[in-house]
Structure formats: structure tokens, C-alpha cells
């Protein structure tokens, strides 16, 4: 797999710069995708819920707070100090353990084995692997911080159907055999194998563009499999309820109930 570690500092700087805007968009509980696609499926794959969870790239802490309300002791980490600051200011009254941690840095990852609550009963990383310049350090080092056989559940923009900024949404008018006119939406992918660095936005209007690191399913899972992980759970949720009222905008993921914009996967290390 290509190494984009040179772009890690640039990526973290963009996340720092966009932190306030991102935090506004996420709110306390996460945005519509988080609440309907990411969190329920992540929670499902985390069952039975362990008493301790390590979160990588926690952003403004939306999922950490949800886990905490469910009685889990959470150690939440992110590489961006501004994201952690936003997380802290939204988490008054919660007993969460926050650590600034660059998930591409092996020596920082190694310290997790000695962190409070380690070894953890699970690790989680929501919607961030495509934002992280290098994922092999995480696959190498996470097992040292986890109970043997504990799950690592991650959600990600679906590498096949939603591979970052290159995805094109379309809407077409179709004449049916019985003479009706209907409209259908879909995605057009022209470069699934064009992996690596792209630039784009996570939220329309954010102050600065950010790097994305698109990896094919083969690249992503091979990197994990080669390091002793096995895949033992997967979800590919789509927006089936019409979305969050964005229906005015007809060219939207809200109108694709049969195409998953997100993938959630569970890995376990064989030890």
C-alpha cells in the first residue's frame, strides 16, 4: 500500500482548522448519517458491549458520549488538538478519558497499552480511516492495547460506492415499459482503483479543503489480514427513510435507498 505519511501533518492541520465548523455540523449527538447509519451499526457490531472501549479519531466526541451514557468507560483519542478541545467542551458532566493521539505514530500507539482501563474490551474508529494518512501502524499496534480477541469496529465512507471526492451522483429520467416517467438516482465511479491522495470537503462550507486517502477494499482488508486480523462482521447501511429533510435537493444520497454510502466492519486479531 502506498505510504502517504508525508501528508499526515497537512491532514491534521486541516482538521484543526475545520474543527469549529465540524463541531457545529455534528452537534452533541452526531449528524444524520452518524445517528442513522454509523452509530446503530457500530453499536450492533460491538455487542455484547464491553465495559471499556478505546476510540481512535473521536472528533467532537459524539460517539464517546453515547457509549458513556450506555455505561462504558471510554478512552477517546484524536490527533487534532482542536477536535479534542471541541469534544471536551461538549462533554461536561461525562467521565471520559481524552488523549491526543496521532493514529499514524507507532510510538504514541504503543503508549495505549499502559493507558488507564487498558487492555480495552474493544476499539472503535468512526468515519476516519479515509482521513488517516497511514493505517498500517494502527493495524500493527492496536492488538497491544486490546484484550486478546477483542473487536476493532470501524466505519468508513464505503470504498466501492462512496470513495471520497471522486464520486459523482446522478439522477436520470426513465420511461418504464408501461409508459410512466420515473426518476432514479445513482452513483458513477470512474476510478475505484485510483487510490491515494485526493482533496475534498467533509461538510459544505468548511473553511479549508482536506486530504482524503482512498483505499480499495482489497488494500484496506489485506493490510489488516496481513497483520493477523480477521473480518467477522460487516454492515453496508443505506438511507432508506428519505433522509433528513434534504429531499428538496433531489441529487442526494437521501434518494438512494439501495446504495450504501457507508461501510461498518468488525475485525478481530488472531493473537
Other CB atoms within 10 A of residue 263 CB: 22
Task: Give the cell for residue 202.
Answer: 467533509
CA distances from residue 211 to 9, 16, 21, 131 in whole angstroms, order as listed:
10, 13, 17, 7
Using rule CB under 6 A, residue 15 touches ligand SAM: yes
Neighbouring C-alpha atoms within 13 Å toward the C-beta of 171:
11
Binding map of ligand SAM across residues 30-59, x = CB under 6 A, - = no contact: x---x----------------------xxx
Beta bridge partners of 52: 73
Which range, of 76-84, 172-180, 221-229, 239-247, touches ligand SAM by CB under 6 A? 76-84
In a 10 Å sphere around its CB, with 0-12 CB exposed, 13-18 middle and 19+ buried, how is residue 257 labelled? middle
- Rule CB under 6 A: say whether 103 interacts with ligand SAM: yes
Length of the chain in terms of residues written:
271
Residues near ligand SAM (CB under 6 A), total: 24
Q: Least distance to ligand SAM from the beta carbon of 77, Å?
A: 7
Backbone angles phi, psi at 81, to 5 degrees: -65, -35
Is 198 among the residues that bind ligand SAM (CB under 6 A)? no
Task: Tell me how far apart the alpha carbons of residues 143 and 12 are, in angstroms, rounded to a whole number.
Answer: 24
- 125 versus 259: smaller Cβ distance to ligand SAM: 125
Taking contact as CB under 6 A, which single stretch among the options 122-130, 180-188, 189-197, 228-236 is the one that binds ligand SAM? 122-130
Alpha helices in the chain (DSSP H): 8-17, 19-26, 32-33, 39-46, 62-69, 81-89, 106-110, 136-145, 217-225
Q: Considering beta carbons, is residue 149 or 200 the nearer one to ligand SAM?
A: 200
Q: How far is the CB of 127 from ligand SAM (least distance, A)?
A: 4
C-alpha cell at 155: 466505519
Shortest separation between residue 75's beta carbon and ligand SAM, angstroms: 13
Provide the grid cell at 239.
438511507
In angstroms, the CA 268 to CA 255 distance is: 34
* Window of 120-128, 220-228, 229-237, 244-252 that interacts with ligand SAM by CB under 6 A: 120-128
Q: Which of 227, 212, 57, 231 is nearest to 136 (CA)?
A: 227
Contact range with ligand SAM by CB under 6 A, out of 5-13, 191-199, 225-233, 241-249: 5-13
Q: Which of 45, 76, 79, 185 binds ligand SAM (CB under 6 A)?
A: 79
Q: Does 159 bind ligand SAM (CB under 6 A)?
A: no
Comparison of 63 and 229: residue with beta carbon closer to ligand SAM = 63
Other beta carbons within 10 Å of 167: 19
Quote the distance between the C-alpha of residue 41 and its chain's center: 12
Does residue 206 touch ligand SAM according to CB under 6 A? no
**Residues 124 to 143 in contact with ligand SAM, rule: CB under 6 A:** 126-128, 131-132
Please report, as ranges, the residues that interact with ligand SAM according to CB under 6 A. Answer: 8, 11-12, 15, 26, 30, 34, 57-59, 62, 78-80, 83, 102-104, 126-128, 131-132, 202
Amino acid at each position: 500500500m502506498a505510504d502517504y505519511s508525508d501528508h499526515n501533518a497537512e491532514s491534521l492541520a486541516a482538521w484543526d482548522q475545520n474543527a469549529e465548523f465540524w463541531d457545529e455540523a455534528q452537534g452533541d449527538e452526531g449528524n444524520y448519517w452518524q445517528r442513522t447509519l454509523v452509530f446503530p451499526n457500530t453499536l450492533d457490531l460491538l455487542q455484547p458491549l464491553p465495559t471499556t472501549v478505546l476510540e481512535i479519531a473521536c472528533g467532537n466526541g459524539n460517539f464517546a458520549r453515547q457509549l458513556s451514557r450506555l455505561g462504558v468507560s471510554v478512552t477517546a483519542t484524536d490527533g487534532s488538538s482542536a477536535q479534542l478541545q471541541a469534544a471536551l467542551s461538549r462533554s461536561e458532566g461525562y467521565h471520559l478519558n481524552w488523549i491526543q493521539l496521532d493514529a499514524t505514530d507507532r510510538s504514541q500507539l504503543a503508549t495505549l497499552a499502559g493507558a488507564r482501563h487498558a487492555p480495552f474490551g474493544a476499539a472503535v474508529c468512526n468515519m476516519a480511516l479515509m482521513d488517516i494518512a497511514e493505517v498500517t501502524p494502527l493495524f500493527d499496534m492496536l492488538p497491544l492495547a486490546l484484550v486478546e480477541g477483542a473487536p476493532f469496529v470501524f466505519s468508513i465512507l464505503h470504498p466501492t460506492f462512496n470513495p471520497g471526492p471522486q464520486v459523482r451522483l446522478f439522477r436520470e429520467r426513465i420511461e418504464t415499459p408501461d409508459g410512466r416517467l420515473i426518476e432514479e438516482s445513482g452513483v458513477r465511479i470512474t476510478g475505484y482503483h485510483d487510490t491515494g491522495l485526493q482533496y475534498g470537503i467533509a461538510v459544505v462550507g468548511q473553511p479549508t479543503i482536506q486530504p482524503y486517502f482512498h483505499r480499495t477494499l482489497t488494500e484496506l482488508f489485506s493490510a489488516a489480514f496481513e497483520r493477523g486480523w480477521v473480518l467477522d462482521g460487516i454492515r453496508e447501511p443505506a438511507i432508506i427513510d428519505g433522509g433528513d429533510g434534504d429531499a428538496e435537493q433531489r441529487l442526494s444520497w437521501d434518494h438512494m435507498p439501495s446504495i450504501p454510502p457507508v461501510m461498518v466492519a468488525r475485525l478481530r486479531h488472531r493473537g
